[in-house]
Chains A and B, each alone.
Chain A
Amino acid sequence: MMLPGLLKRIDRKFLPLIVTILMFVVAFAAASLKYKGFGTPQVFYNMLIDNSFIIISAVGVTFVLISGYVDLSMGAMIAFISMVSAALTEKLGWSPLTTIPFVLLLGMVMGAGMGYMVTYYKVPPFIATLAGMFLARGACFVISTEAININNPFYRSVALYQIPMPGHAFISINVVIMVVMVLLGIYLGHYTRFGRNVYAVGGNEQSALLMGLPVNRTKMLVYTFNGFCSAVAGVVYSFYMLSGYGLNANGFELDIISSVVIGGTLLTGGVGYVVGTVFGVLIQGIIQNIITFDGSLNSWWTRIVVGLLTLFFIVMQRALSSIKTSSPAVNETPPANRSAEST
């Protein structure tokens, strides 16, 4: 009778993750049966190509949410980084070899700045990152109110390069960058001291502090890493769009957060997986693809379905955590203490 017990224990921790992956697989299989040409490798690869920058940014946000905090600046950061890249290469004639390291550093500095406000000045994370969002969007328009096209040969060749895949299909270099970032996220989250600190801070910041963990340093690192991810996403986005514009990636912040939630990350902190985030983004991608393939459905259904999915996952998380706390066998902190994040 070991198996049911084991299954139960695994289930509780991984249930949102398993549901997400199952949902993706079922949705893809059902759509492949219903729509002609859906079940080809290229459709799947296109989903990766079109969502690579979202996945990269979502990896960073996963860490922020696991640590019990929030970031609203990703969409604006992506636009800002692609704008700066476009301006530097096109207007100032910088080489991509200097542009890309520069914008990555810029993203990290901005992430660290927001992290500093949150960590040391106790500014509510919502407000600090809101300021970051306004700052990044505003700065885009200071650089230029018009879109800047990128004609740099390096950017063009990266954007247009196709890596052949089995089954007469291809992926772009962006997908490779995305896979590297996801692997980096998994490594940082599960195989490093930093990752364990992030989970500890998100689980209960007070306990983490009392255990002698470097809470402040962890928070700073989380925001800096998130800034780095946003910057990489911005670089990938400039490969994808080959232009910079201040209104690009508008409103992606909350889409990214909802896909991280769909991927099984608990917004109260302490629980979440980078792998789940990838599937969370892909589920949004598959909904969009289904709507495109169907043709008779209107685009607003995407938003409604994503909203309902977010609700479903949040209610499921709630139900799971209340089972946890009501069961006397498992000693867990009550949610009231756990959500005392920003104070």
Chain B
Amino acid sequence: MLKVGVAWRKISANGIIYSTLALLALLAFNIFASPGFFNLEMKEGHLYGSLIDILRNGAPLMVLAVGMTLVIATGGIDLSVGPVIAISAAVATSMIGKNMGASNLPLPLVILGALAVASLCGFWNGILVSRIGIAPIVATLILYVAGRGIAQMITDGQIVRVFYDPYYFIGGGYLLIPFSLFVVAGVYLAAWLFTRRTAFGMFLESVGVNPNAARFSGISEKNIKLVAYTISGLCAGVAGILISSNLKSADGNNAGLWYELDAILSVALGGTPLTGGRFSLPGSFLGALIIQTLTTTIYSVGVPPQVVMLVKAIVVILVSLLQSNNFRQSIAARFPSRKGAAR
């Protein structure tokens, strides 16, 4: 009994266990609620099925969660990713133009352009936070407020539609599995190499745990933050390309709406504390997966899709309470016998 208690404590101290359980519970629910949920079919050389749909629709969020994880690891937050998605989508689609089946500019240049502008947006946030010293919520609030205006300015207030198949392939095409998943894999691989195979990840965590201590030990706290926000902008740019290419259009008002909140939620679900410090990229991936599974489940059960917000609220409340030490202690205090066993 004693050992079980200790082991449970170790596992439950790591927030990721609750997220894994939540995902498993959701999948188990789907076995009963929507028959055929786990069916995978081959059609015209593509894999089809609800599980593939979840991965495909969740791709932008998964990419976004990478950048958000790094920013949150520094103890910051990026509210502007939704509008940056809209900006990146607007840049990409206006560079392609409205020609039938052709693009004004070569595709690599289009992608590079959109990513460059999105990185610039992230860089701007980073400058405000690291050099001018504005609180992250406020600094990114500025781009949040202005960003959709900028996106509409780029597209002249229109919803730009593109008719260029190679662009559509990025977010909507298949190479056995959806092509966007290769993009996601690439982003995660790059992020993993950058944070775990270089010292950057350690620097990020040290800045998040204690910026002053990091500075005194010779880590350039300002530059670390600047890089984190720039990467977040870059990730939002990738997400913007995925979304706009899948929809074959860019809508300055609605592209990436609510995504900032979902991205923050993914990171929180993944066990990265929102106060900064230790972060987990696989955790954030899991978080994004849970959110998308939740959405797809609600669609497939036939509940009005708007209700997804209510379910998300309950999930957020549960997860944030479970992550709260004060809450766990107050629960433990209610059940003295269990507390004794755990000791």
Contact A298 B157 (CB under 8 A): yes
Contact A301 B149 (CB under 8 A): yes
A264–B212 Cα distance when bound, in Å, is 29
Interface of B is mostly: helix
Contact B321 A123 (CB under 8 A): yes
Residues of chain B contacted by A298 (CB below 8 angstroms): 152-153, 157
A298–B158 Cα distance when bound, in Å, is 12
Contact A300 B304 (CB under 8 A): no
Q: Is residue A274 contacting chain B, with contact meaning CB distance below 8 A?
A: no
Q: Digit string of B299-343 for contact with A (CB within 8 Å is 1, else 0)?
A: 000001011111111101100110111110010000000000000
Closest to A268 in B: B135
B311 to chain A minimum Cβ distance, whole angstroms, is: 7
A124–B75 Cα distance when bound, in Å, is 12
Q: Is residue B134 contacting chain A, with contact meaning CB distance below 8 A?
A: yes
Contact B316 A122 (CB under 8 A): no
Taking residues whose C-beta sits less than 8 angstroms from the other chain, chain A's interface range is 35 or more
Contact A138 B149 (CB under 8 A): no
**Interface hit among A10-18, A207-215, A231-239, A302-310:** A302-310
Contact A314 B142 (CB under 8 A): yes
A124–B137 Cα distance when bound, in Å, is 13
Tell me which residues from 101 to 128 in chain A have a Cβ below 8 Å from any Cβ of chain B. Answer: 117, 120-124, 126-128
A285–B95 Cα distance when bound, in Å, is 35
Tell me which residues from 285 to 343 in chain A have a Cβ below 8 Å from any Cβ of chain B. Answer: 298-304, 306-308, 310-311, 314-315, 318, 335-336, 339, 342-343
**Interface hit among A20-28, A36-44, A253-261:** A253-261
CB-based A-B contact count at 8 angstroms = 142
Q: Is residue A170 contacting chain B, with contact meaning CB distance below 8 A?
A: no
B89 to chain A minimum Cβ distance, whole angstroms, is: 15
Contact status of A304 and B138, CB under 8 A, knowing A130-B264, A131-B317: no
Contact A308 B146 (CB under 8 A): yes
Contact A127 B149 (CB under 8 A): no
Tell me which residues from 111 to 164 in chain B have a Cβ below 8 Å from any Cβ of chain A. Answer: 128, 132-135, 137-139, 141-150, 152-153, 157
Contact B152 A142 (CB under 8 A): no
A267–B134 Cα distance when bound, in Å, is 9
A203 to chain B minimum Cβ distance, whole angstroms, is: 15
Residues of chain A contacted by B65 (CB below 8 angstroms): none
Q: Digit string of B267-309 for contact with A (CB within 8 Å is 1, else 0)?
A: 0100000110000000000000000000000000000101111
Cross-interface CB contact of A121 among B143, B274, B316, B324, cutoff 8 Å: B324
Q: Is residue A137 contacting chain B, with contact meaning CB distance below 8 A?
A: yes
Cross-interface CB contact of B150 among A126, A304, A342, cutoff 8 Å: A304
Cross-interface CB contact of B309 among A127, A138, A311, A335, cutoff 8 Å: A138
Q: Is residue B77 contacting chain A, with contact meaning CB distance below 8 A?
A: yes
Contact B316 A127 (CB under 8 A): yes
Q: Is residue B261 contacting chain A, with contact meaning CB distance below 8 A?
A: yes
A336–B214 Cα distance when bound, in Å, is 14
B267 to chain A minimum Cβ distance, whole angstroms, is: 10
Contact status of A304 and B153, CB under 8 A, knowing A117-B321, A127-B268, A132-B313: yes
Interface of A is mostly: helix
Residues of chain B contacted by A303 (CB below 8 angstroms): 145-149
Q: Is residue B252 contacting chain A, with contact meaning CB distance below 8 A?
A: yes
Q: Is residue B63 contacting chain A, with contact meaning CB distance below 8 A?
A: no
A257–B139 Cα distance when bound, in Å, is 12
A266 to chain B minimum Cβ distance, whole angstroms, is: 10
Residue of A268, A306, A310, A311 ringed by the most chain B CB atoms within 10 A: A311
Q: Is residue B79 contacting chain A, with contact meaning CB distance below 8 A?
A: yes
Contact A318 B134 (CB under 8 A): yes
Residues of chain B contacted by A315 (CB below 8 angstroms): 132, 134
A254–B317 Cα distance when bound, in Å, is 21
Residues of chain A contacted by B146 (CB below 8 angstroms): 303-304, 306-308
B120 to chain A minimum Cβ distance, whole angstroms, is: 16
Q: Is residue A246 contacting chain B, with contact meaning CB distance below 8 A?
A: yes
Contact A121 B326 (CB under 8 A): yes
Using a CB–CB cutoff of 8 Å, the interface residues on chain A facing chain B are 70, 117, 120-124, 126-128, 130-135, 137-142, 145, 246, 254-255, 257-258, 261, 267-268, 298-304, 306-308, 310-311, 314-315, 318, 335-336, 339, 342-343
Additional A-B contacts beyond A130-B265, A141-B309, A257-B141 (8; CB < 8 A): A121-B327, A138-B312, A145-B306, A246-B306, A300-B252, A304-B150, A311-B142, A318-B133
What are some 24 contacts across the A-B interface (CB < 8 A)? A70-B137, A120-B326, A121-B324, A121-B326, A126-B274, A130-B316, A132-B313, A134-B313, A134-B316, A135-B310, A137-B309, A138-B312, A254-B79, A267-B138, A298-B153, A298-B157, A299-B157, A300-B152, A303-B145, A310-B142, A311-B128, A314-B139, A318-B133, A335-B133
Question: 6 closest A-B pairs (Cβ-Cβ)?
Answer: A138-B310, A307-B146, A303-B149, A141-B306, A134-B313, A138-B309
